[in-house]
Amino acid sequence: MGHKSAAREYAPQPMNKGRVEAFSDGVLAIIITVMVLELKVPAGDNLDALRPLRSAFLAYVLSFAYVGIYWNNHHHLFQTVKHVTGGILWANLHLLFWLSLLPVVTGWAGAHPQASWPAAIYGLALLAAAVSYLILQRTVARHGGGALAEMLGSDLKGRLSPLLYLTGIGLSFVRPWMAELAYALVAAIWLVPDRRIERALDARG
């Protein structure tokens, strides 16, 4: 009996999803902190000194909105997780990897607002993050999220976003400002939190 109870006591336990959420929250908070530290102090003491920082500030605002959107939807997504699997851990790290590149591509795009390649690479980072989030969604639905696929339905926004990112990347080599509008449009689409999961969980009581 003693051996059996000891075996049960030291049997590996599934990871608590709270640890994954706390780690993800910390990474996203650091991303925002690094991005804001990239904003330089104005050189002068009047409003004209803010003009050179305009592009960098707008790029920061857009990227801040994106990080906020991912944080919000990540929170809703993990409300459906019953137990954390290795697949969910790696899919989550995959998402965080692409989001961690936002400070670099944001700083580059903000410093060169009229250049094609910074706008295109910024769009590529956003596209990769969007694809990695879709992978995380499917991994959660397959291993830990029960009826997540039913809650999401057709997921029109999730399917439309990569197409808009690809459009923006192409526009980067025509008119970079049009690419930035495409990226801002995706953020506007997602600015209202995705409430499908929340409504479905409330309905289930």
- Tokens read off for 158: 């999730």
The pLDDT assigned to 193 comes to 63
The pLDDT assigned to 10 comes to 45
The pLDDT assigned to 148 comes to 63
Average pLDDT, rounded, for the chain: 86
Residues 162 and 155 sit within 8 Å (Cβ to Cβ): no
Q: Residue 169 corresponds to which amino acid?
A: I
- With a pLDDT cut of 90, the percent of the chain lying above it is 57
Question: Mean pLDDT, to the nearest integer, of 179-204?
Answer: 78
pLDDT beyond 60 at 85: yes
DSSP secondary-structure letter at 35?
A: H
- Tokens read off for 133: 């989030």
Given pLDDT bands bounded at 50, 70 and 90, which one contains residue 161?
very high
59-83 pLDDT, tens digit per residue, is 999 999 999 999 999 998 888 888 8
pTM: 0.85
List the Cα angle 65/68/70 in 5-degree steps. 110
115-126 pLDDT, tens digit per residue, is 999 999 999 999
**Buried/exposed code over 127-141 (b: 16+ C-beta within 10 A; e: otherwise):** bbbbbbbbbbbbbbb
Residues 134 and 158 sit within 8 Å (Cβ to Cβ): yes
Domain segments of the chain as ranges: 16-204
Given pLDDT bands bounded at 50, 70 and 90, which one contains residue 128?
very high
Long-range contacts of 2-10 (CB under 8 A, 24+ apart): none
Q: Residue 151 corresponds to which amino acid?
A: M
The pLDDT assigned to 11 comes to 47
